[in-house]
Amino acid sequence: MFKNYTKFLAIAYTALLQFSCSKDDDSSPDIIAIDIPTTFEVPYGEEIDIDLSGVLPEQKDITFSLDFNETTEVQVGNSISLREQLARAIVIHNGDHAHIRCNSNMLYPNGITSEIENKRIPDAYKILVLARDRNEKIVGEQIVSLKILPGKIDIKGTENSSGILFTYALYSNEDTAFELTAPFISGDNTSWFLPEPVEDASIRLDNNKIIFSGIEGNPARQEETKYDLKPSLLKNGFPIASASFQVIFIPELKFFYGIYLPEGDMSILLNLLHLSVAGGSKTSAPVLYPAEYKGTFEIVSIEKDGLPFEDINRIFGIVEDTGEVTTQENNTLDPGDYLLTIKAISSTGIERTTTLTLALE
């Protein structure tokens, strides 16, 4: 009997040991903390990676998945919902370098309203990050708030001042066009948009160009006219990028050497001057009208008797802020006609050129 009892204990011990090992093998990890930032921002058109590799406990088979049910549902296309689009744009990459990748080009900036329908993108995308063990049991979770910022529009030929793209243009009876571009933004399902109303019926949008038809002003007008516009790029009706755009139309600039009588719009040209070849001369300042746009002046090129002339000894000069042309004393110039091309750069950045002939005798 003692022998049977001993055998029973051996069997019981073996069973207990096997049960213990099996339990250890099938053990699930404790609840883990997904220690990542809970808010992220990304400009529209860029990608962002959220690193999850530091969350994985050592020697544990953990995988991650995403749930978008915390985000308010919106129909963003004819056949797709916002949550479906989120699942396409925000994906998990598991493994040793686990991370979440977000392609903002596939989504929409948050907080925007459709220009076509009464639909609004929520203020943030709420993403539930789930950690699961080898048995698909959830062992950790964290809600992440992702906010996509509106994209930027560039307009060729403009400058940026405190977030406003601005430029000056001359009154013209011809079309004046400004080209819109949206770097780093995919063109799929997008279209350019100019909100109504605009200040003048002569302003229109033609593909990616804002066009002033020429009715906006007369070249003879003397006062400025300012337009403030806010073009945007739409995707499925939602504005994904926009810009504040200001253009100021100014009168046609008159630039020449001579006299101008604004009362009768009369110009007297004095662009041929006879000077001593010995130098030491200074001309009168040119006309740049209206005077409030006066900026700087420079010599662009020189010709002598119809041929290019290289002013190696810097005989000719110009007073930068007045436009007066000078010649050095005791120079070694040969007599002849010297044709100078002068450029004026107005205070608004508009350039004009004129010529001045110095007949040195």
Res. 32 pLDDT band, cuts 50 70 90: confident
Distance CA 192, CA 211 (A): 13
Q: Pick the residue with more confidence: 301 or 252?
A: 301
Q: What is the pLDDT of residue 230?
A: 93
pLDDT in tens, 222-241: 678 888 999 999 999 999 99
What would the two tokens of residue 347 be?
A: 């205070």
Span 66-87, average pLDDT: 92
What would the two tokens of residue 23 be?
A: 């339990």
Q: Pick the residue with more confidence: 193 or 220?
A: 193
Distance CA 325, CA 356 (A): 9
Which residue type occupies 80? I
Res. 219 pLDDT band, cuts 50 70 90: low
Q: What is the pLDDT of residue 13?
A: 44
Res. 7 pLDDT band, cuts 50 70 90: very low
Mean per-residue pLDDT of the chain: 86
Distance CA 162, CA 301 (A): 37
What would the two tokens of residue 17 be?
A: 């040991």
Query: Which residue reads 């076509």 in tokens?
Result: 116
pLDDT at 6 over 60: no
> pTM for this one?
0.73
pLDDT at 300 over 60: yes
Res. 199 pLDDT band, cuts 50 70 90: low
pLDDT at 66 over 60: yes
pLDDT in tens, 11-21: 444 444 444 44
Contact 174, 214 (CB under 8 A): yes
Residue 223, classified by CB atoms within 10 Å of its CB into exposed (0-12), middle (13-18) or buried (19+), is exposed
pLDDT in tens, 46-63: 999 999 988 877 656 889
Distance CA 257, CA 356 (A): 7
Q: Pick the residue with more confidence: 3 or 278?
A: 278
Query: How is residue 293 annotated by DSSP?
Result: G
Distance CA 290, CA 76 (A): 52
Q: What is the pLDDT of residue 83?
A: 95
Q: Pick the residue with more confidence: 220 or 118?
A: 118
